[in-house]
Amino acid sequence: MNRPFDLRPRRPLLLVTGLSLALALPTAAVAGDPAAGKAKAKACVNCHGLDGVSRAPDAPNLSGQVPEYLALQLRAYKAGERRHPVMNVVAQPLTDQDIDDLATWYSEIEITVTPPP
C-alpha cells in the first residue's frame, strides 16, 4: 500500500540532522580561576606536569586543551563514567569549582605546534 507521506526513506537524514544539531548546541562555559587552578595542579604534576605536558606514558598532555573538554572529562572520572584507576580516585574530592579552575589553568597554557617537514 502506498502511503502519501512516508518518513521511512528519510530516517537516516533525520538522524544525521538531529545529531548535527545536538553537537552544535553550546556547552556550558567554564568559569574557572587560572591562579587557583595552578595551585590545585600541584597534585597533577607527577603525571601531567605543572605545564600540562605529560610525564607518564598513559597520561595525556593537558596544556592548550579546550576548557569545556577538560572539565567534562574530570567530571566523568569523578562520576565513574570514565574509568582510570588513578583518575577516578584523584577526581573524587574535587568540587565543581576545583574542576573549572583546573580546566581553565591547563587551557590557558599556550602551546606551539610544529608539524614535521
Q: In CATH, what class is 34-107?
A: mainly alpha
- Burial of 48: CB neighbours in 10 Å, binned 0-12, 13-18, 19+: buried
Question: Which is higher by pLDDT, 25 or 39?
Answer: 39
Among residues 107, 85, 111, 112, the alpha carbon closest in space to that of 41 is found at: 107
pLDDT tens digits, residue range 11-38?
A: 555 444 554 544 444 556 889 999 999 9
pLDDT of residue 64: 95
9 falls in which pLDDT band (50, 70, 90)? low
pLDDT tens digits, residue range 73-109?
A: 999 999 999 999 999 999 999 999 999 999 999 999 9
Domains of the chain by residue range: 34-107
Contacts of 28 by beta carbon, 8 Å cutoff, 6+ apart = 68
Q: How many degrees, rounded to 5, is the angle at CA 42 between CA 36 and CA 46?
A: 150
pLDDT of residue 11: 54
